[in-house]
């Protein structure tokens, strides 16, 4: 993994996306044995339902994205000097 601070500004966002993609792909491959087992155990659901179950499982296992920056709240008024 390339340290993001050493990259030019335009490449940093792209590198973050690539790192996230690689992490998602590694997680998907980690969950693949469960997907295969589910397909063997559940003969009734169609391909679409099995794919939806796989995607839900992946979304639940995925860590939340980092929230970097400041978000205004109700208490803060942006119009005040």
Which tokens sit at 28? 């998907």
Residue 65 clears pLDDT 80, i.e. is over it: no
CB-neighbour burial class of residue 55 (10 A; exposed 0-12, middle 13-18, buried 19+): exposed
> Does residue 48 belong to any structural domain of this protein?
yes
pLDDT, residue 5, reads 73
Asked if residue 71 belongs to a domain, the reply is no
Predicted pLDDT of residue 8: 83
Neighbours of 31 (CB within 10 A): 16
Q: Which domain holds residue 38?
A: 9-61
- Residue-level pLDDT at 66: 65
**Count: domains in the chain:** 1
Closest by CA to 23, choosing from 62, 67, 53, is 62
pLDDT 10s digits, 7-37: 887 888 888 888 888 988 998 899 888 888 8
DSSP character string of 1-28 = ---GGGS-HHHHHHHHHHHHHHHHHHHH
Does residue 79 belong to any structural domain of this protein?
no
Domain for residue 42, yes or no?
A: yes
């Amino acid at each position: 993994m390339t340290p993001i601070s050493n990259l030019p500004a335009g490449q940093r966002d792209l590198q973050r996306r690539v790192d996230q993609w690689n992490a998602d792909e590694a997680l998907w491959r980690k969950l693949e044995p469960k997907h295969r087992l589910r397909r063997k155990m559940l003969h009734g659901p169609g391909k679409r339902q099995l794919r939806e179950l796989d995607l839900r499982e992946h979304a639940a296992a995925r860590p939340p994205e980092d929230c970097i920056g400041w978000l205004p709240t109700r208490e803060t008024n942006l119009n005040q000097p």
